[in-house]
Amino acid sequence: MNDLTLEIIDLSLSFKGLMETTKVLHDVSLTIGQKEKVALVGESGSGKSVTARLVLGLLQAQNKTRVSGTINFEGRDLAWMTARERRQLRGTRMSMIFQDPVSALNPVYRIENQFHEVLKRKRPTVSLDEAREESTAILGDVNITEPERVLKSFPFQLSGGMNQRVMIAMGLINEPTLLIADEPGTALDVTVQDQTLRLMHDMVEERGTSVFFISHNLGVVREFSDRLYVIYQGRIVEEGKTEDVFANPKHPYTRALLAAVPSITSGDTISDVINDTSAFLAPREVH
């Protein structure tokens, strides 16, 4: 009935500790349409990464977590799927790109074998030769000029930027409908990060992949996303089209965040920061 790629409704999450239960998400709701790039922006501990993990179905099975609310992926409720069905979605219909490409790739296998494994998730019978052929094509798309050499390499033999491009290629090779990118490139140098983000942008535009983009970096979000949600202490405080939110931030927290980012055009931008955080709990603003 609806054509949303991802729909999260009133998602709440608590961790049961030894002493007490900590609530880390409070009724988070967000949607990602087809071909839409949506960012979830927040500081560390705001709950943005656990939201991504919940979408991937990685936290539901743990007995220390309590989850409520609905996550619909392509119209199907994740909660009604078995753990096996959720596992089958990962790497096929939805895939993920991590912050640190070097630790996300397995150091003991060649890149071509890792591509092979990824392809086998969708088509279990695919041969290594077929995998090589398809990987070569997609590595060309991420501007890797010597795909043969890269495929024969181990991850540690490649630079951080090269690994990040391999990750992007691997994330997209099964043509997922949703790509979850958790702080991609944050571990890399700025120039490399900039290149990989532009590359990722072009790749998903071309393929019409929806993107769920998790980041703490407002500048990167501004560059990359169509729409954004700002999350603070497990609550969505502002949502809207990217340019609207940046042009006219309404929520006190969003304003404080934007004011705190140093500017490269004038040398005197960070002179007053709001120290009173009580206003940050004001209700959600929608553009």
Partner 1 sequence: MTAPLLQINQLAKTFHLESYQIHAVRDFTVDIWQGECLAIVGESGSGKSTVANMILGVYPPTSGQISFKGAPLGARRTKSQRRAVQLVQQNPFSSINPSRRIGATLKLPLNVHDIGTKGERMARVEELLGEVGLPADYAARAPSTLSGGQCQRVAIARALASQPEMVVLDEPTSALDVLVQARVLILLNELRKKRDLTYVFITHDLAVVRNMADRVAVMKDGQLVELKPTHEIFDNPEHDYTRSLISASPVITEEEREMRNRLREGLAMEAVQ
Where does this chain bind partner 1 (CB under 8 A)?
A: 43-44, 189-195, 216-220, 222-223, 246, 256-271, 273, 275
Closest separation in Å from C-beta 33 to partner 1:
25
Answer yes or no: are the C-beta atoms of 39 and 19 closer than 8 Å.
no
The Cα 101–Cα 199 span in angstroms is 15
Phi-psi region of 233 (alpha: psi -120 to 50; beta: other; left: phi over 0): left
Half-sphere exposure of 195 (CA within 13 A, CB side): 13
The Cα 102–Cα 105 span in angstroms is 6
Residue whose CB is less far from partner 1, 260 or 286? 260
C-alpha to C-alpha distances, 152 to 132, 156, 157, 194, nearest whole angstrom: 10, 12, 10, 26
C-alpha to C-alpha distances, 136 to 104, 111, 128, 166, 200, nearest whole angstrom: 20, 11, 12, 11, 17
For 257, the token pair is 């965040």
For 71, the token pair is 């996550």
Residue whose CB is less far from partner 1, 82 or 265? 265
Residue whose CB is less far from partner 1, 1 or 273? 273
Residue whose CB is less far from partner 1, 177 or 254? 254
Closest separation in Å from C-beta 228 to partner 1:
12
Closest separation in Å from C-beta 255 to partner 1:
11
Residue whose CB is less far from partner 1, 73 or 224? 224
Closest separation in Å from C-beta 183 to partner 1:
12
The Cα 16–Cα 144 span in angstroms is 46
Closest separation in Å from C-beta 195 to partner 1:
8
The Cα 100–Cα 160 span in angstroms is 8
Closest separation in Å from C-beta 240 to partner 1:
15
Residue whose CB is less far from partner 1, 107 or 219? 219
Closest separation in Å from C-beta 181 to partner 1:
15
Span between the terminal Cα atoms of the chain, in Å? 25
